[in-house]
Structure 1
């Protein structure tokens, strides 16, 4: 009796074809939604920065003057959005995107 362990070449080719088809379907969807993902990531970072500014105020008695202070004191890991947009903190502790005019 023959011991048939493992996959045949045909089975491996079928698996590779299925994986390739799935990749062809998913990669364009991910690429087309990249700007939406970056926008949502920036919105989340703004909310996090506002929360961390209040935590900084509780710990230090005053709001930070800029987001780099939050980064330097380890309240935030970054002060820019995933898409590269700069953020700024206002006097009331809210955070907004910096609008750069062309």
Structure 2
């Protein structure tokens, strides 16, 4: 017989088992990290909104009535977090909160 080089079926099964095991271990961790990243992004949007409220107040002499005022005045592009599940709201006394984004 000729000396053929290549992988045997057993070697391929061992490699596939190792890859499958690694994927089983990594995928849940990635999903958990994604949630953390999205939450941190939403907190960063809230901090940026606070800064833009202050900038609006300095330039216009009064606090904005709501987040839509900041968006319409080009201080913010959006008040919806990147994953679309939460949004930023501004109360009448200037308190910024993160709430669930309920689409009506």
TM-score bracket relative to the smaller structure: 0.5 to 0.7
> Is 1:53–1:70's contact at 8 Å kept on the other side of the alignment?
yes
Give the number of aligned pairs: 80
Instruction: State the match for 1:70 in structure 2.
Output: 70
Instruction: State the match for 1:58 in structure 2.
Output: 58
Larger radius of gyration: 2
TM-score (norm 2): 0.62
> Is 2:64–2:70's contact at 8 Å kept on the other side of the alignment?
yes
Matched, 1:33 2:30: no
Gaps of 5+ in 1: 1-20
Runs of 4+ in 1 over 4 A off after TM superposition: none
TM-score (norm 1): 0.63
Matched, 1:86 2:90: no
Instruction: State the match for 1:96 in structure 2.
Output: 97
Cα RMSD between the aligned structures? Answer: 2.7
> Is 2:66–2:92's contact at 8 Å kept on the other side of the alignment?
no
